[in-house]
């Protein structure tokens, strides 16, 4: 198994930038949940998958479909997983009282772990070439 360090570094760097941006936006709300904090809370759950997508496209442009699918799934499914995990530890009233802080922190942790996993997965696999995908589609 050969490690593509270029892909790993690019994807992890952009994911860390996204994670930092999401964390900054979450911290900037100060625990408040108002109309003014809506945009930072959206960035909290959107920044890491988006940054990872950009890094993936820079590292392996030919994998744009795989990158878009995986990053969308990471973004979309995190809502459900983080909400379920929060529900295991807090009641609805407790969650509302603390502004769903556990949910947002869990989202950031999930994004960090998934970004690491996706980066390692792509760095240990050969790049998917557009020509190979087209030939498989024609054969099917």
Q: Is residue 122 predicted with pLDDT exceeding 70?
A: yes
| C-alpha–C-alpha distance, residues 112 and 135, integer Å | 35
SS3 content of the chain, % helix, strand, coil (to 5): 85, 0, 15
DSSP of 13-44, one letter per residue? HHHHHHHHHHHHHHHHTTT--SGGGHHHHHHH
pLDDT tens string 37-76:
999 999 999 999 999 999 999 999 999 999 999 999 999 9
Helix 38-59 and helix 64-89: axis angle, to 10°?
A: 140
Largest CA-CA distance found in the chain, in angstroms, rounded? 57
Angle, vertex CA 90, rays to CA 72 and CA 41, nearest 5:
40
Q: Tell me the whole-structure pTM to 2 decimals.
A: 0.88
Number of residues assigned to the chain = 140
Q: What is the pLDDT of residues 6-45, one digit of tens each?
A: 999 999 999 999 999 999 999 999 999 999 999 999 999 9
The mean pLDDT of 108-134, rounded to a whole number, is: 87
């Amino acid at each position: 198994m050969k490690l593509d360090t270029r892909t790993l570094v690019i994807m992890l760097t952009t994911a860390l930038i996204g994670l930092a941006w999401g964390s900054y936006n979450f911290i900037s709300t100060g625990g408040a949940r108002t109309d003014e904090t809506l945009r930072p809370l959206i960035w909290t759950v959107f920044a890491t998958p988006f940054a990872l997508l950009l890094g993936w496209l820079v590292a392996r442009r030919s994998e744009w479909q795989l990158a878009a699918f995986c990053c969308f799934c990471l973004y979309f499914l995190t809502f459900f997983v983080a909400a379920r995990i929060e529900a295991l530890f807090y009641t609805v009233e407790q969650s509302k009282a603390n502004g769903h802080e556990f949910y947002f922190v869990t989202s950031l942790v999930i994004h960090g772990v998934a970004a690491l996993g996706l980066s390692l997965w792509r760095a240990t696999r050969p790049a998917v070439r557009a020509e190979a995908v087209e030939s498989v589609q024609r054969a099917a």
